[in-house]
Amino acid sequence: MSQPAFEFEDVEIDEPGDLTFTVGELADAIDQQLRSGFRDGVWVRGEVTGLKQGGPHIYFSLVEKERGNEAKIEVKLFAPAIQRLRPKLRKHRLDLRDGMKVRIKGFLDFYKPRGTLGLKMVDIDPRYTLGEIAQSRDEIMRRLVASGLIDLNKQRHFSPVPLRIGVAASVESAGFGDFHSQLVGSGLGFELTVVDTRVQGDGAERMVAGAIGTLARGARKGVLDAIVVIRGGGARNELAVFDSERIAHTIAAVSVPVLTGIGHEVDRSIADEVAHTALKTPTACAVELIERVTRYADNTEAAFDSIVRRSLATTNDAERRLHDTARRIAGRTTAAVERADERLSMRHGALKALAPAALDVASVRIGDAATRVVELASRSTERERGRLDVLDARTAAVDPAVQLARGWTISRSATGQIVRSVADLAPGDTVSTSFIDGQITSVVDTVQPRTERDDDNTTESTSAND
């Protein structure tokens, strides 16, 4: 069988003498070059991400995000190295966590099965991590001081009886358990509003700030006296969550005092610096609240006892003064009654002597007054009788019967209304006319109103007749 013919472009073909590797050989060569080139290991700094436990070993990526393009290398921390590094980490209160900036030493390793380059970690520089934490903390503190937020919450007025407490904590933590047990054991009437939140790991910063913000809204409504932010002990880099500028801003804006018990006794977090009162542990926060309430209760009891003592002393003193006053009043009253009795006896005798003469004079005056009353009544009756006669004559003069007897008549329309003007009638209307001795009914033929000329003629005629 013949092979098919293929046409190829002109391609430079390796000479038979050129070195050719298998994949495995190339991987071994790369690994050997890395080991020889970095025989003493290499120090690398970056940020831990994707940390996970794989059996007794730890795996994570070390990344750099500061130069625009992200760079990454995979890191392996095997169990023997973990055991060797654990005392160093514990001494500096550090624990490997995502987001932690580290400077580590390792040996480069090319893993043939996957064709990946990695770093076998053998050492760590704790001072670098602590320096990064301190530098970030110092920068945040400078901004807080410049903005005036560092002392804002410290100016909040602490209620004399802080019983209504908002708590931002992980309710499953031992720190919250200690805090809660302490308050319950006090026997005081604390009312807790608890917002459960993560206090370490991914999202802890956002969740803690959100929990404080939720409680702050309750404080603005007047339902909380104080807010407590607590967390148990832990590695220093874990507690660095509370060095967050976001959490600091949230605490500063709370309208009631904020107490912190972050659970570390050596360093103070930024949350401690911004809070109204920073305490070492969650238990210390509970003790502080208990002492405030107890102190208020003791002061109240002492004030009440003082009020009772002063009231009793004032009452006793007033009772003594009242008794003395009553005794003086009784003595003066007896003397006054005796003097009044003497004056009354003297006036009774004078009155008894003067009464007959006064009665005689009064009897004469009454007789004279009776005579004058009779005379005045007679004159008044005669005067009023004359007035009645005059009124009777006037009434008779306007009596319609008298007017009819004089020749006057009264005309009424068909509806019975008195006719006072020709304007009240029209041709064809029926008119009833009353005389002194009877009544006639007539029909209007014509209506002729009086004119100005008629008024003038009447006036002239009247003048001529005069």
pLDDT digits (tens, 9 = 90+) for 290-336: 999 999 999 999 889 889 999 888 888 888 999 888 888 988 888 88
Residue-number span of the structural domain to which 438 is assigned: 402-449
Q: Within 10 Å of residue 300's Cβ, how many Cβ atoms?
A: 12
Q: Are residues 62 and 169 in the same domain?
A: no
pLDDT of residue 156: 93
What's the CA gap between 7 and 26, in Å, rounded?
A: 32
pLDDT for 17 = 59
Both 168 and 265 in one domain: the answer is yes
Statement to judge: residues 162 and 277 lie in one domain: yes
pLDDT at 393: 78
Confidence of residue 236 (pLDDT cuts 50, 70, 90): low
In this predicted structure, the answer to whether residue 187 has a pLDDT above a threshold of 60 is: yes
Residue 194 banded pLDDT, cuts 50, 70, 90: very high
Q: Is the dihedral of CA 294, 296, 300, 302 positive or negative?
A: positive
Q: Are residues 152 and 208 in the same domain?
A: yes
- Flag whether pLDDT at 98 surpasses 90: no
The predicted pLDDT at position 403 comes to 73
Domain end point (choices 255, 272, 294): 294
Together in a domain, 182 and 74: no
| Final residue in a domain of this structure, among 238, 260, 294 | 294
Q: Does residue 440 lie within any of the structural domains?
A: yes
Check residue 3 and give its pLDDT: 40
Is residue 304 in some structural domain?
no
Q: Mark whether 227 and 280 lie in a shared domain.
A: yes
CATH no. for residue 244?
A: 3.40.50.2300
Give the pLDDT of residue 224: 94
On whether both 142 and 116 belong to a single domain, the answer is no
Q: What angle do CA 76, 77, 79 make, to 5 degrees?
A: 135
Asked if residue 417 is part of any domain, the answer here is yes
Summarised one tens digit per residue, pLDDT across range 144-170 is 888 888 889 999 999 999 999 999 999
166 with 280, same domain? yes
Residue 453 — very low, low, confident or very high, per pLDDT cuts 50/70/90?
Answer: low
Query: What mean pLDDT is reported for the chain?
Result: 83
Question: What CA–CA distance (Å, rounded) separates 192 from 167?
Answer: 7
Statement to judge: residues 98 and 161 lie in one domain: no
Specify if 341 maps to a domain. Answer: no
Pairing of strands 226-230, 258-261: parallel
Q: Quote the CA–CA distance of 443 and 267 in Å, as a whole number.
A: 129
Nearest in space to 445 (alpha carbons), one of 421, 422, 429, 423: 429
User: What are the phi and psi torsion angles at 34 (to 5°)?
Assistant: -65, -45
Phi, psi for 385 (deg, rounded to 5): -65, -40
Last residue of a domain, one of 294, 311, 344: 294
In a domain, 39, yes or no: yes
Nearest to 275 by CA among 259, 288, 291, 287: 259
In this prediction, residue 176 carries a pLDDT of 92
Q: What is the CATH number of the domain that holds 58?
A: 2.40.50.140
Asked if residue 251 has pLDDT above 90, the reply is yes
pLDDT at 452: 65
CA 62/CA 70 separation, integer angstroms: 10
Residue 195 three-state SS: strand
Residue 264 has what pLDDT?
59
Residues 95 and 190 in one domain: no
Q: Rounded distance, CA 190 to CA 393, Å?
A: 104
Give the model's confidence band at 1: pLDDT under 50 very low, under 70 low, under 90 confident, else very high. very low
| Interval 37-65 mean pLDDT | 87
pLDDT of 134 over the 90 cut: no
Question: What is the reported pLDDT for 461?
Answer: 43
Evaluate whether 44 touches 62 at the Cβ level (below 8 Å): yes
CA 307 to chain centre: 34
Residue 276 lies in a domain: yes
Beta bridge partners of 430: 443
Q: Are residues 284 and 179 in the same domain?
A: yes
Mean pLDDT for 218-228 is: 92
CB atoms within 10 A of CB 46: 20
Edge-first strand order for the sheet with 226-230 is 191-196, 164-169, 226-230, 258-261, 277-279
Contact 401, 393 (CB under 8 A): no
Q: Are residues 29 and 140 in the same domain?
A: no
The SS3 assignment for 169 reads strand
Answer positive or negative: Cα dihedral of 273, 276, 281, 284: positive
pLDDT at 260: 93
Residue 42 C-beta-side C-alpha neighbours within 13 Å:
16
12 — pLDDT class (breaks 50, 70, 90): low
Total count of domains within the chain: 3
As beta bridge partners, residue 440 has 433
Distance CA 453, CA 263 (A): 126
- Provide the whole-model pTM: 0.51
In a domain, 73, yes or no: yes
Per-residue pLDDT band for 342 (boundaries 50, 70, 90) equals confident
Is the distance from CB of 49 to CB of 60 less than 8 angstroms?
A: yes
Give a yes or no: residue 465 inside a domain: no
Q: How far apart are the C-alpha atoms of 169 and 230, rounded to whole Å? A: 5
pLDDT, tens digit (0-9, with 9 covering 90-100), for 67-84: 667 788 899 999 999 899
Provide DSSP, 250-300.
HHHT-SS-EEEE-S-SS---HHHHHSSEEESSHHHHHHHHHHHHHHHHHHH
